Amino acid sequence: MSAAPGAGAAGAHWPGRALDAAAGLVLLYLFLPIFVVVAYSFNEPAGKFNFVWHAFSLDAWAHPFRYPALVEAMKLSLAVAAVATAVATVFGTLVALALTKYRFRGSAAVSGLLILPLVVPEVVLGSSLLSLFLQAGAPTGFGTIVIAHVMFCTSYVAITVRARLRGFDWTLEEAAMDLGATPLRVALRVTLPLIAPGVAAAALLSFALSLDDFIITLFNAGTQVTYPLYVYGARRAAFPPQINVVATGILVVSLLALGGTVVWQRRRLRA
Amino acid sequence: MTHDERAITRRQFVGRAALAAGGLTLGGGFLAACSSGHAEASDSAGASANTVRISNWPLYVDSLTPQRFEQRTGIRVRYTEDVADNNAYFAKIADPLAHGQSIDRDIVVLTDWMVHRLIRLGDCAPLDDTLFPNKAALVDDLRDVAFDPGRRYSMPWMSGMTGLAYDRTQTGRDLTSFADLLDPAFRGRVTMQTEMRDTLSLIMLHLGIAPERATEADVAAACTVVTTYRTNGQIRAFTGTDYADDLAEGNVAIAIGWSGDVAGLAGDNPNLRFAVPSEGGLLFSDCMFVPVTSHRMPQAMAWMNYVYRPEVSARIVEATRYISPVKGTAEALAKTDPALAADWLVNPGPALRARLHQFRPLSDDEERRYTEMFYQAMGV
Amino acid sequence: MSVVTAPARAAAGRANRRAFAPWLLVAPGALWLVVFCVVPVATLVRTSFGAAGAAWWDGYARAFTQYGGHLARSFGYSAVATAIALALGYPLAYVIAFRSGRLRNFLLGLVALPLFVTFLVRTFAWKTILNDNGTLVRILGVVHLLPAEGRLLDTVWAVIGGLVYNFLPFMILPIYASLEKIDGRLVEAAQDLYCSGRRAFLKVVLPLSLPGVFAGTLLTFIPAAGDFINAELLGGPNQQMIGSVVQTRFLVVRDYPLAAALSIVLMLIILAFVLVYTRFMGTEDLA
């Protein structure tokens, strides 16, 4: 087992420990608001706003679905994220493959195209998309939200996968085909498994971005309400702890999935 | 284990984990989409025309009213709390309505000045008074408003007062005048509203101008006051509804705020008070209107008629702490919650109501110009 | 005979397929982006020229004269936020890539996890944390890092802090991706040649991680420059960013030519920055 760089530096324990400590602090910084969000799901606000700690209570957890609009918003956000991620992962991976495997004349233009959703501020993307939908007479709603999300998610997926594919050994594909495999078999049995980690990371990113999106969705949601839109709106009259409960719920599910894969990894390594 | 072997094992595991995660994601999302799509399908199939689709602000109704209405009338209610902000909602519905497209709603609740804009644009259907006997229960001072004389197109959902919301422990005294908000003793601990009419009305009243007759020069003068106190650090922030949590957390001493918010906060912190300035305050209403593309006027009128029953309105007041526009609500409320019925925040007497003003209705052009001036004054 | 010609035939077949392959692969994604990103932006450019009763450049003139301050402020805030995010994110990415062993995927998951709590909810949590009467402000007051009547909310630092926090994962993950691909044997080789740990880092690891740094800084700087939620929720009226101006001119004031011009100006400045930055970093591709 090769030594990790840095760990083997002669007698240099101090930089290593300091580095670990610094990294730990940053991680703590990343999680501080998350702790607060979780903690306040156990708050029983005396008024309608969940910003002042009043009393510990499991009431919000006992009745997480008390606000049906919140539940509907969450379901909508998940549905949009699932569909958008599925489509964007396919589109984005295909583009990334094309850009890294081949040299073709449009590649610089396509590269530039990918950057566009990142360079254009979300406010601009959102409002210009809305005007496009209206001119086309398309009613805004689930479909337009998904269209908008696929647009920027494809960009992120393509860029992420492309970064991962740098230095990829494409001769493996040629070797497989020389051994008689059809292009389809090569794609499924050789290419896909090897690029899967990069694609998975990109899909994860896309899902998170879609769940999180507020500004572009604000312009293109029509009368639909996603979870971020609900949170922004609930500020008007009240901010119930159920919002914290939902946020914590998502977190717990994600943590379980993460823990599950770690356990799986241990099992695989042992096997 | 060599580096490569370890690498492949890691790749394989991540690949499978990704597949699992992807499967969960897609499965979950698919289920969610299925269930909400299912609900949509059964809605449009089963409900057909006998449904009323309502858009309202979040948490602006009690939990019983929609289902009681369904039991009573047999009309299904599809109640969505998707009004987050007047301007954002307007941006969503303006163009579809202009092209005569349905916005999938039969009743929408927006603040009075925005409803006025929609009336100007011809997006509101005239209400069918023959189906609305309880319309007579509307309080007198909201009957003949300047932006909708005779209430042909809109009816108030709930009203509220705009005034000074403050923390007694921070101010050390009860506030009486708008000048208190400009007091240097509270530098950096004061907030104003991003709602142009709320802020400018109070300032104009303080300057001795009646908002009902404000001219462009008056608006400019009020905006200058805003700029002055923003740049000298008096105003800590311009808030929408989030002044409420600033007050609750003690970040702010005085805010231009709304009566219902303070009534809601008082449970958490009895030191939070509300004052209508001696110069005068503002009475605002969030109003229901029927979009012109709705084609379900009977159902919409049934809803309006139902919520204009005093006992129903009393229930809503109990849940939201705003002011009911329905006569007889105070009496109905006194039966279930006498303390609340006596609360002047929820039940302002005629003397107080006489001190409340309304901003004059603006034309499209004026609105655009004044809003731009106000936003520049706010530093945006 | 067939053994010799089969590979040749296969190669010829591949060459034919190869001519079409990239276009087929690129088509779905590229078409989507053209229709739903390029076309709308083009429409926006047209809108920016349409000021009623004024010259075509009116919107742009007002953008610079009336809102130049906001533009400068936005780019200033996002530059500082990006620098801080880089300083915070690089060590964490490094530790995860090289020093975390079996915890690596778990730590990566932890970095991505905050993204699963809505951006708005996370930012509201900062309002609680930075609360005037909260623990943090109290501690800073006791330690005299903050003046007695001082506050953290509605200040420049709250806004920048919010920007740093919200975009930190977008800095860490690309840097990690770059670092992770570095072959440990290269560093071993450097050390075998009597390099100290620090030199090995500066000469081997850092240059190889630059693509990740490049991606991370762009993925942080660009959205931060256009963001308005952090400034709205955490900042005061003298800290508002250009994103707020654009949004309000679109939704509230409905002055579309001005709003469109502001958007285009914002976009062009970012584009110019990206081009200069790309040149400076020496990478040929933009992604």
Across the interface, of C133, C151, C252, the residue whose CB is closest to B371 is C252
C6: nearest CA partner in chain A: A178
Contact A27 C32 (CB under 8 A): no
Neighboring chains of B (3 or more beta-carbon pairs < 8 A)? A, C
Name the residue of chain B whose CA is nearest to C180's CA.
B7
A159/C44 Cβ within 8 A? no
Q: What's the pLDDT score for residue B39?
A: 37
Closest CB to B249 among C133, C184, C253: C133
Instruction: Copy the structure tokens of residue B181.
Output: 């908000």
B183 to chain C, minimum CA–CA distance in Å? 17
The amino acid that residue A59 corresponds to is D
Nearest to A167 among C173, C181, C229 (CB): C181
Which amino acid appears at position A223 of this protein? Answer: T
| Min Cα–Cα distance to chain A from B22, Å | 8
B159, B323 Cβ separation under 8 angstroms: yes
Q: Rounded to an integer, what distance in angstroms lies between the CA atom of residue C93 and that of residue C14?
A: 40
CB < 8 Å to A236, chain C: none
Greatest CA separation for chain C: 91
Q: What is the mean pLDDT of chain C?
A: 84
Q: Find residues 162-181 of chain A whose CB sits inside 8 Å of chain C.
A: 162-164, 166-167, 174, 177-178
Indicate yes or no: CB of B249 within 8 angstroms of CB of A52.
yes
Q: Determine the Cα–Cα distance for residues C47 and C54; give it in Å rounded to an integer.
A: 13
- Segment 115-144 of chain A within 8 Å of chain B by CB: 130, 134, 137, 139-140
pLDDT in tens, A52-106: 777 898 989 999 888 887 898 999 999 999 999 999 999 999 999 998 888 888 8
Q: Which two tokens stand for residue C264?
A: 């285009």
For range B241-255, the mean pLDDT = 82
**How many Å lie between the alpha carbon of C106 and the closest alpha carbon of chain A?**
7
Residue A211 gets the label, from left (phi > 0), alpha (psi -120 to 50) or beta, of: alpha
- Of residues B16 and B359, more confidence is placed in B359
Task: Check: CB of residue B275 under 8 Å from CB of residue B164.
Answer: yes
**pLDDT, average across residues C131-137:** 77
Does residue B11 surpass a pLDDT of 50?
A: no
Nearest-Cα distance to chain B for C287, in Å, is 24
The angle at the Cα of B317, spanning B312 to B322, to the nearest 5 degrees, equals: 140
pTM metric for this prediction: 0.75
Alpha-carbon span C20 to C13, nearest angstrom:
12
CB neighbour class for C238 (10 Å; exposed up to 12, middle 13-18, buried from 19) = middle
**Rg (chain B; Cα; Å):** 24
Closest residue in A to C120 (Cα–Cα)? A228
Mean pLDDT of B242-264: 85
Question: Which pairing describes strands B281-289 and B254-258: parallel, antiparallel, or unpaired?
Answer: unpaired
How far apart are the C-alpha atoms of C236 and C132, rounded to whole Å? 14
pLDDT of residue A204: 80
Contacts of A211 in chain C (CB under 8 A): 116, 118
pLDDT of residue C119: 87
Model ipTM? 0.81
pLDDT tens per residue across span B191-230 = 999 889 999 999 999 999 999 999 999 999 999 999 999 9
Candidate from B251, B372, B380 with C-beta closest to C131: B251
- pLDDT of res. C11: 60
Max mean pLDDT among B134-148, C7-21, C67-81 falls in C67-81
Cβ distance A36 to C29 less than 8 Å, yes or no, reads no
Interface residues on C facing B, Cβ-Cβ cutoff 8 A:
66, 105, 127-128, 131-134, 149, 151, 153-154, 183-185, 233, 236-238, 240, 244-245, 248-255
Tokens of A175: 């070797």
Task: Quick: pLDDT tens for A95-136.
Answer: 999 988 888 888 889 998 998 887 777 877 887 887 777 777
Smallest Cα distance from B289 to chain C, Å: 20
Nearest to C118 among A31, A147, A212 (CB): A212
Task: State the average pLDDT over residues B150-174.
Answer: 94
**CB-CB contact of B282 with B162 (8 Å):** yes
Which residues of B are less than 8 Å from A203 in CB distance? 18, 21-22, 25
Structure confidence by residue, pLDDT tens digits, B16-52: 444 444 444 444 444 344 333 333 333 343 346 799 9
Contact A114 C23 (CB under 8 A): no
- In chain B, residues with a C-beta closer than 8 Å to the C-beta of A51 are 245, 248-249
Question: Residue A28: CB partners within 8 Å, gap ≥ 6?
Answer: none
Alpha-carbon distance A83 to A210, whole Å? 10
Report yes or no: A30 at the C interface, CB cutoff 8 Å: yes
Residues of C in contact with B170 (CB under 8 A): none
**Cβ within 8 Å, pair B245-C127:** yes
**Helix spans in chain B (H):** 3-42, 65-73, 86-98, 112-120, 168-171, 196-206, 216-231, 243-248, 259-265, 297-307, 310-320, 329-336, 338-342, 350-354, 364-378
Judged against a pLDDT cut of 60, whether residue B5 lies above it is answered with: no
CA–CA separation, C119 and C163 (whole Å): 11
Chosen from A57, A218, A236 to mutate, greatest number of chain B CBs within 10 A? A236
Q: At residue A15, does pLDDT exceed 90? A: no
A66 touching C, CB under 8 A?
no
State what percent of residues in chain B have pLDDT above 90.
63
Is there a contact between A115 and C287 if contact means CB atoms under 8 Å apart?
yes
The predicted structure's pLDDT at residue A265 = 60
Listing DSSP states for A183-223 in one string gives HHHHIIIIIHHHHHHHHHHHHHHHHHHHHH--HHHHHH-TT
Burial of C106: CB neighbours in 10 Å, binned 0-12, 13-18, 19+: middle
Res. B236: pLDDT tops 80: yes
Q: How far is B92 from chain A (nearest CA, A)?
A: 5
Residue A177 contacts B, CB cutoff 8 Å: no
Q: What is the pLDDT of residue C42?
A: 86
Would the CB atoms of A231 and C118 count as touching at under 8 Å? yes
Q: Residue C128 pLDDT > 70, yes or no?
A: yes
Structure tokens at B31: 């289920």
Amino acid at C56: W
Q: Taking residues B227-239, report their average pLDDT.
A: 91
CA–CA distance, A186 with A172 (Å, rounded to integer): 9
Give the per-residue pLDDT at A264.
Answer: 67
CB contact under 8 A, A49 and B268: yes
Are the beta carbons of A5 and C182 separated by less than 8 Å? yes
The pair of structure tokens assigned to A128 is: 């210009």
pLDDT band at C286 (very low <50, low <70, confident <90, very high): very low
Lowest mean pLDDT among B83-87, B137-141, C83-87: B83-87
- Give the Cα separation of A218 and C51 in Å (integer): 25
Using CA coordinates, name the residue in chain C closest to B370.
Answer: C253
Residue B82's pLDDT is 76
Q: Which of B3, B235, B242 is opposite residue C237, by nearest beta carbon?
A: B235
**Residues in B touching C153 (Cβ below 8 Å):** 251
Pairing of strands B254-258, B154-167: antiparallel
Check A102 against C114: CB less than 8 A apart.
Answer: no
- Residues of A in Cβ contact (< 8 Å) with C250: 123, 127
Return the pLDDT at B275: 94
- Mean pLDDT to the nearest integer, B148-173: 94
List chains adjacent to chain A, taking adjacency as at least 3 C-beta pairs closer than 8 Å: B, C
pLDDT at residue B272 greater than cutoff 70 = yes
Residue with tokens 């779905």: C28
Phi (first) and psi of residue A7, to 5 degrees: -70, -30
Chain A residues within 8 A of C287 when measuring between CB atoms:
111, 114-115, 158-159, 162-163
Task: Please answer whether residues A145 and A224 qualify as being in contact, where contact means their C-beta atoms are separated by less than 8 angstroms.
Answer: yes
Q: Give the minimum alpha-carbon distance from A68 to chain C in angstroms, rounded to a whole number.
A: 19
- Interval A180-209: pLDDT, tens: 888 788 878 888 888 887 888 788 878 888
C140 token code pair: 């800073």
pLDDT digits (tens, 9 = 90+) for B130-159: 999 999 999 988 898 889 999 999 999 999
* Residues 196 through 235 of chain B touching chain C, CB cutoff 8 Å: 230-231, 235
pLDDT band at B332 (very low <50, low <70, confident <90, very high): very high
Rounded Cα distance, B139 and B150, in Å: 12
Whose tokens are 């920055």? That residue is C273
Which whole number is the average pLDDT over A17-27?
A: 91
User: Taking the CB of residue B257, how many other CB atoms lie within 10 A of it?
Assistant: 29
pLDDT higher for B180 or C198? B180
Higher pLDDT pick, C86 / A200 = C86
- Mean pLDDT confidence for A3-14: 46
Tokens of A121: 């501020």
